[in-house]
Chains A and B, each alone.
Chain A
Amino acid sequence: MPIIELKNVSYTYDDADSPNKFALEKINLKVEEGEFVALLGANGSGKSTLAKLLNGLYTPYSGNVIVNGVDTLDEERIFEVRKCAGMVFQNPDNQMVATIVEDDVAFGPENLGVPREEIVERVNFALDAVGMGEFKKNSAHRLSGGQKQRVAIAGVLAMRPKIIIFDEATSMLDPKGRKEVLSVAKKLNKEGITIIHITHNMDEVAFAVRAVCLKEGRIVFDGAPRELFSRPQTLIECKLSPPPVSELARLLKAGGMNIDAGVLDEEEVTEAICRLL
């Protein structure tokens, strides 16, 4: 059974009685447990809306979102959904509830009514998992962007989720912070947590096993990143620019060289070029 299932989901920001424009239209998507999915799209393509549908922050206009067997329309069980699907937001400053790192991480389990001793345990575990254990007592305000996002991830981890949704969580970070967050995401994925990574940075897509492209509220591509990169037409259609490596590969191929256009990173492209020489 897929851990996330969207059945014919539509969503609109308009008045529910007379919607003119849908942010998402008839989306069907299944995500299996343990997957690393990159959700791509230009601004206004509906990718953040989709993210907020996945943990019941928004409820669909029509259709159903099923997370871990629970429908997000079921208000009684909404906390189950949110506990299962944690979310890391874009702006590191706007998702910290407490001033001190450990207090912020404890916020989730406190809301769930976890007993005190276990909260302490969970907080320590979560902070160690993202490599922020030594900053436990620090004031969150003084941390770097990447560190703040890692604390936010710890805050989600402390709720013991099965899914973590990164809602453009890297877009406000410098390259170093970006790397920190992505490597934590990769590590957690290896430990069995399903990751949904929303981004418009194509470099980060290479991390994922599966890429889903949105355009004007519809899914236009669903497949391996490698396949996506070898189809520049799809990328242009979605107003996305391919990463420099695959652009290079494409140009070389267009120039008559025998090279696979679906390369993912620098290493692969170097290898391919070396082989040709």
Chain B
Amino acid sequence: MFRDITLGQYYPANSAVHRLDPRTKILLTIFYIVGVFFIKTYFSYAVTILFLTSVILISKIPVLSVLKSIRGILFLVLFASVLNLFFVSSGEVLFESWITPRWVFRITMDGVHYSIKLTLRLILLVTGASLLTFTTTPVELTDGMESLMSPLKLIKVPVHDIAVIMSIALRFIPTLLDETNKIMNAQKARGASFDTGGIVKRAKALLPILIPLFVSSFRRADELAFAMNARCYNATDKRTKMKELKFSLKDLIALILVLAFLTVVFLDRYYFMGIDSLLFPGVLRCAIL
């Protein structure tokens, strides 16, 4: 049930992407996400897919496990695209039927384009973001966040505490997933069923999983607190770090590549809409995108 969640799962490999400074990766991921939101044309989507695929290949992560990260949002993607298919009513009409005199069921060319683009956008967003967690250990990730957020210390935001809380949360995701599976199996062995019945019945069936999970999480938290104390944990400035963050030439190159990608997307959006209009005449009229 939860086995498909890959977010927060580090894939160890020795690649140029893995070796980038986490701060660079976080910032570039944000740039990428902004870029994806600006995409308007199929040409740009093609460029993005090409760009993302090459990053995946460089990072030496099996393409399949990256694609698996989409599974979690598959329902959302389907839901959103089907909804758009039915509710976008501008453009060339492909299919039309009057259900009542006042309500028309209509699928238009614009709707089709919109759905396809929405699907592409969501998939590109999730795969891009999961690439960050695939190539960055949670510790690097939180170190990066901590460093990026450090200006907030000036206004008394407990940046270090937030970073520790985040890294522990990430650290316990796989442990708690295992635990959930164990509890589910234990309940199944006693005749509980989780995948039959209506939605209310299923939601109720989750209760005997959640309660033991909560109880054991508190116990774990307690024991972890002891273990951290036993190892002299303190949140003072006296702490040192084994891994120091350092920008290098690699980071500059990555920055230039992502900026190049963004330039293509922006130029395409504001100047070169021509390529798409040649390929798909009519798509330009789709004003919403």
State whether A159 and B231 are in contact (beta carbons under 8 Å apart), knowing that A89-B226, A95-B223, A99-B139 are contacts in the complex. yes
- The residue of chain B having its C-beta at the shortest distance from the C-beta of A94 within the complex is B223
The answer to the question of B100 belonging to the interface, with a C-beta cut-off of 8 Å to chain A, is no
Interface of chain A, main secondary structure: helix
Residues of A99-134 at the interface with B, using a CB-CB cut-off of 8 Å, are 99-100, 102-103, 106-116, 119-120, 123
B189 an interface residue at 8 Å Cβ cutoff? no
* Residues in A whose Cβ lies below 8 Å from that of B35: none
A137 at interface, CB cutoff 8 A? yes
Q: How far is the CB of B243 from chain A (nearest CB, A)?
A: 8
Complex A-B: 30 CB contacts under 8 Å: A55-B230, A86-B230, A89-B227, A89-B230, A91-B223, A94-B223, A95-B227, A97-B171, A97-B224, A97-B227, A97-B231, A98-B139, A98-B171, A99-B139, A100-B10, A102-B242, A103-B139, A108-B231, A110-B242, A111-B231, A112-B232, A113-B240, A115-B240, A116-B241, A119-B242, A120-B242, A123-B242, A141-B174, A155-B231, A156-B231
B168 near A97 with CB under 8 A, answer yes
B89 at the interface (CB under 8 A from A): no
Q: How many A-B residue pairs have CB under 8 A?
A: 99
A116 touches B168 (CB 8 A): no
Q: Assess whether A215 is interfacial by the CB under 8 Å rule.
A: no
- Are B12 and A107 closer than 8 Å at their CB atoms? no
B172: nearest chain-A partner, CB-CB: A93
Task: Check A87 for interface membership: any CB of B closer than 8 A.
Answer: yes
**Max chain A C-beta neighbours (<10 A), residue from B138, B171, B226, B241:** B171
Q: How far is the CB of B194 from chain A (nearest CB, A)?
A: 24
* Tally of A interface residues using CB under 8 Å: 41
Q: Determine the chain A residues whose CB is within 8 A of the CB of B224 once the complex forms.
A: 94-95, 97
Residues of B within 8 A of A94 (CB): 220, 223-224, 227
Contact of B233 with A by CB under 8 A: yes
Cβ–Cβ contact A99 & B137, under 8 A: yes
Residues of A in contact with B (beta carbons under 8 Å apart): 52, 55, 57, 79, 82-83, 86-87, 89, 91, 93-100, 102-103, 106-116, 119-120, 123, 137-139, 141, 155-156, 159
Report the minimal beta-carbon distance from B84 to chain A, rounded to whole angstroms: 39
A79 adjacent to B175 (CB under 8 Å): no
Do residues B241 and A110 form an inter-chain contact, with CB atoms below 8 A?
yes
In the bound complex, CA of A87 to CA of B170 (Å): 24
Q: Quick check: is B229 within 8 A (CB to CB) of the other chain?
A: yes
Chain A CB within 8 A of B167 CB: yes
CB-based contact A87/B230 at 8 Å: yes
Q: Are B242 and A111 in contact (CB under 8 A)?
A: no
Chain A residues, CB < 8 A from B227:
87, 89, 94-95, 97
Q: For the complex of A and B, list the 7 residue pairs with the smallest distance between their C-beta atoms, beginning with the closest.
A: A95-B227, A94-B223, A106-B242, A111-B232, A108-B231, A113-B238, A87-B230
Inter-chain contact B137/A111, CB cutoff 8 Å: no
